[in-house]
Amino acid sequence: MDGQNSYRAGPDEKGRFGHYGGRFVAETLMPLILDLEAAYKAAQADPAFEAELIDLQTHYVGRPSPLYFAERLTEHFGGAKIYLKRDELNHTGSHKINNCLGQILLARRMGKTRIIAETGAGQHGVAVATAAARFGLPCTVFMGATDMERQKPNVFRMKLLGADIRPVTSGSGTLKDAMNEALRDWVTNVENTFYIIGTVAGPHPYPAMVRDFQSIIGKEVREQMLDREGRLPDSLVACIGGGSNAMGLFHPFLDDSDIRIIGVEAGGLGLETPDHAASLAGGLPGVLHGNRTYLLQDDDGQIIEGHSISAGLDYPGIGPEHAFLRDAGRVEYVSATDAEALEAFQLITRLEGIIPALEPSHALAHVGKIAPDLPRDHLMVMNMCGRGDKDVFAVAEHLKVDL
Amino acid sequence: MSARQTRLDRKFAALQSEGRKAFIAFVTAGDPDPETSFAILSGLPAAGADIIELGMPFTDPMADGPSIQAASQRALKAGQTLEKTLAMVARFRAEDDTTPVVLMGYYNPVFIYGVDRFIKDAVAAGVDGLIIVDLPAEEDSELCLPAMEGGLNFIRLVSPTTDDARLPNVLENTSGFVYYVSITGITGSAAPDVSKVSDNVARIKGRTNLPVAVGFGIRTPEQANAIASVADGAVVGSALVDVIGETAKNGDKPATDCVARVLTLASDLAEGVHKEIQK
């Protein structure tokens, strides 16, 4: 394993995955982050915490999500045998709920009485608002004004769930600005507030904690694939914005060195243009939002906005563990463009009767590039991390269909 | 802490011997444009600023309120870079060799510039200290230790959430002065409660011989006076930056005596800090 014992050992006690990660936050937040780390450690050691989470996953979320053999898609590509991990069937329609329930249980253990979150596409915001409603906690969601315009159905869902939506107009009004604003709220309301970060980024312990809560995806896939095929898969494919669904699928398999693991970034209008959100392919290591990772930025260290057809992928950074896995060469990181994602979106909708979110449509676009050349006994798992209900209006617009 | 006396050490020693408190003025480098910004910087010492905090603009200033966010955006739009900020300090140093200049900002632009190169160029430009908001004591090896080694003061923020158990770690590698953040929150927020600030300054002084300056939420000469009465200095940023925002050229709206109005407010604030402390 290239001189190291395990790819799953991180983070170290400073919250580092190799050079990446860390705790780059203002002093006001530092004590809170240390408290959170201690509370999370205690919760991990408490069987009652796990039992409560499993109960919610089973009866509220509907886990385990199915591992579905996509027969017609497989026939269409004519190569690898393609399985879809159906996390889009979860309550609230994406993998985001896995993490939100874990964090809200932790918030309760810590005696916090107010929840805040950032959201881009609104999937994380909806999942947070749902968890907050379920536990009767007031919840404030920060969302870029531009994203609110793009994702009206999710804005309304959050409002129905009782969340207070704060439009963020600073910067360009997208996910990174929403995250800045959530951090500003947290630093102001330190006593009672728990910040539920939606992806495997932010200061330690968030990247590790969110990964742990999302790893249920990969753990289930291991069991389900052994059950279905009698062996582990040969390859895993997932889309990456911040990278939580991908880390959830990948992490339990990182030390199975025969398994090929592929993360698909948002290529936007193409990596040769400035309009993409591929932080690994087009960015450089830097420090933002509490961690060191690959960031889209200019020569002066100013952050550049990402672009993607999918509001859930246009974050200019990526979780630090992905940065580590890229440098270590354990995971391959590729990209798919807006146009390729849009095509994949339509393809799977017609072939499998599954309308995917635009985020996993990127993963599917890459599946379409590699599956045809793989043997028929190659077992491939793609994470269908969200459903496309929220995206139908945006897709209609891109296809120039007047609804 | 540091064996070498810095401009900050000398300034605080001089103020102390005169029985005065420090007025620390914050402006963002390059706001609203390089020339106007230099004229403001250049005029601040005569307006009564004892120490200047010069903001290094950043796209994502997570600890700053709307005023300083807007200042960063104006400066970046006008083409400000870290290289230009260092050049601005060097130009200031050519005309003023005593007023300490502390660069304040976020780590990423420094990290991208290169830590070693930054320290070397900052020292050469005449920078005296650094305040890097997103580098807590836990990340000291990144910039704090090399900067102190290179001869720069590293000024640490202490906040109301910094408890007694944590305080010694936070103070350990702090030099120049300690910056007490008067509130939990972002810059430009509500005015701090002076009695709470007083208690916390005393708490910090129980652990260090360094001067303690207080910032966040101080907007008027009266507030500056009240804060200065319980600390070694008062920092004002958002109120000054707001004047720049109001008077700078904006689209078709021409600039209206921006420099003069900023310096007038600065001198009112300086008077508030320097006048006899009202008990």
Q: Which amino acid would we find at residue A77?
A: F
Mean pLDDT calculated for residue range B24-36: 97
Give CA–CA dist A87/A325, Å, rounded.
23
Q: How confident is the prediction for chain B on average, in pLDDT? A: 95
Structure confidence by residue, pLDDT tens digits, A307-343: 999 988 989 999 999 999 999 999 999 999 999 999 9
Catalytic: B53? yes
Residue B276 has pLDDT above 90, yes or no: no
Contact B221, B269 (CB under 8 A): yes
Q: Which residue of B has its CA nearest to A204?
A: B138
Give CA–CA dist A46/B72, Å, rounded.
46
Whether the link from the prior residue into B160 is cis, omega within 30° of 0, is: no
Q: Computed over its alpha carbons, how large is the radius of gyration of chain B?
A: 17
Q: Which amino acid would we find at residue A76?
A: H
Q: Which amino acid would we find at residue A67?
A: L
Question: How far away is chain B from the Cα of A394, in angstroms, using its nearest Cα?
Answer: 28
pLDDT at B190: 86
Q: Computed over its alpha carbons, how large is the radius of gyration of chain A?
A: 19
Interface residues on B facing A, Cβ-Cβ cutoff 8 A: 58-63, 65-66, 69, 76, 81-83, 106-113, 133-139, 156-163, 166, 170, 181, 184-186, 189
Give CA–CA dist A91/A119, Å, rounded.
17
Structure confidence by residue, pLDDT tens digits, A30-76: 999 999 999 999 999 999 999 999 999 999 999 999 999 999 999 99
Mean pLDDT calculated for residue range B184-204: 94
DSSP reduced 3-state for B52:
strand
Mean pLDDT calculated for residue range B264-277: 92
Contact A203, A291 (CB under 8 A): yes
Are the beta carbons of A26 and B157 separated by less than 8 Å?
A: yes
Find the helix or strand (DSSP H, E) in which A401 lies. Answer: none
Question: How far away is chain B from the Cα of A38, in angstroms, using its nearest Cα?
Answer: 15
| Joined tokens for residue B173 | 């590698």
For A180, phi and psi rounded to 5 degrees? -55, -45
A358, A285, A188, A211: which is closest to B63 by C-alpha? A188
List b or e across A29-56, with b for residues whose CB sees 16 or more CB atoms inside 10 angstroms. Answer: bbbbbbebbebbeebeeeeebeebbeeb
Residue A58 CA: distances (Å) to CA of A54, A85, B24: 6, 16, 58
Q: Which residues of A touch B138 (CB under 8 A)?
A: 14, 22-23, 30
Residue A26 near chain B (CB below 8 Å): yes
Q: Which amino acid would we find at residue A39?
A: A
Residue B127: alpha-carbon gap to chain centroid: 12
* Residue of B56, B58, B59, B81 to mutate for A, most A C-beta atoms under 10 A: B59
Q: Which residues of A touch B163 (CB under 8 A)?
A: 31
Residue B104 has pLDDT above 80, yes or no: yes
Q: Which residue shows structure tokens 């699928």?
A: A249
Q: Which residue of B has its CA nearest to A14?
A: B138
Provide the whole-model pTM. Answer: 0.96
For B277, phi and psi rounded to 5 degrees? -65, 130
Angle at A368 between CA A362 and CA A374, to 5 degrees: 135
Residue A204 near chain B (CB below 8 Å): no
Residue A288 has pLDDT above 80, yes or no: yes
Give CA–CA dist A331/A326, Å, rounded.
6
Judge residue A400's burial from the number of C-beta atoms within 10 Å of its C-beta, 0-12 exposed, 13-18 middle, 19 or more buried.
exposed
Catalytic: B232? no
Residue A284 near chain B (CB below 8 Å): yes
Whether the link from the prior residue into B32 is cis, omega within 30° of 0, is: yes
Are the beta carbons of A297 and B189 separated by less than 8 Å?
A: no
List b or e across A222-244, with b for residues whose CB sees 16 or more CB atoms inside 10 angstroms. Answer: bebbeeeeeebbbbbbbbbbbbb
* Residue of B58, B86, B112 to mutate for A, most A C-beta atoms under 10 A: B112
Helix, strand, coil shares, percent, chain B, to 5: 45, 15, 40
Q: Smallest Cβ distance to A27: which of B66, B111, B162?
A: B162
Residue B279 has pLDDT above 60, yes or no: no
Give CA–CA dist B35/A293, Å, rounded.
35
Are the beta carbons of A27 and B159 separated by less than 8 Å?
A: yes
**B141 Cβ contact partners less than 8 Å away, ≥ 6 residues apart:** none
* Residue of B56, B184, B238 to mutate for A, most A C-beta atoms under 10 A: B184
Q: Smallest Cβ distance to A22: which of B82, B133, B139?
A: B139
Q: How confident is the prediction for chain A on average, in pLDDT? A: 96
Are the beta carbons of B138 and A23 separated by less than 8 Å?
A: yes
Taking the CA atoms of residue B76, residue B78, residue B83 and residue B88 in that order, the dihedral angle to the nearest 10 degrees is -120
Structure confidence by residue, pLDDT tens digits, A160-190: 999 999 999 987 788 999 999 999 999 999 9
Q: Which residues of A touch B141 (CB under 8 A)?
A: none
Residue A94 has pLDDT above 90, yes or no: yes
Give CA–CA dist B232/B211, Å, rounded.
6
Are the beta carbons of A171 and B185 separated by less than 8 Å?
A: no
Residue A302 near chain B (CB below 8 Å): yes
Give CA–CA dist A100/A122, Å, rounded.
13
Mean pLDDT calculated for residue range A5-18: 95
Question: How far away is chain A from the Cα of B56, in angstroms, using its nearest Cα?
Answer: 11
Mean pLDDT calculated for residue range B44-70: 97
Q: Active-site residue among B31, B64, B121, B232?
A: B64
Question: How far away is chain A from the Cα of B59, in angstroms, using its nearest Cα?
Answer: 6
pLDDT at A4: 59
Q: Active-site residue among B9, B33, B50, B53?
A: B53
Structure confidence by residue, pLDDT tens digits, B157-176: 999 999 999 999 999 999 99
pLDDT at A172: 78
Judge residue A271's burial from the number of C-beta atoms within 10 Å of its C-beta, 0-12 exposed, 13-18 middle, 19 or more buried.
middle
Judge residue A66's burial from the number of C-beta atoms within 10 Å of its C-beta, 0-12 exposed, 13-18 middle, 19 or more buried.
middle
Beta carbon pairs, A and B, within 8 Å: 119
Residues in chain B, overall count: 279
Picking from A143-157, A345-359, B73-87, B197-211, which range would have the lowest pLDDT averaged per residue?
Answer: A143-157
Phi-psi region of B98 (alpha: psi -120 to 50; beta: other; left: phi over 0): alpha
Contact A244, A207 (CB under 8 A): no
Q: Smallest Cβ distance to A27: which of B106, B158, B189?
A: B158
pLDDT at B5: 87
pLDDT at B3: 55
Q: Which residues of B touch A300 (CB under 8 A)?
A: 81-83, 109, 112-113
B250, B103, B127, B241: which is closest to B179 by C-alpha? B103
Are the beta carbons of B185 and A302 separated by less than 8 Å?
A: no
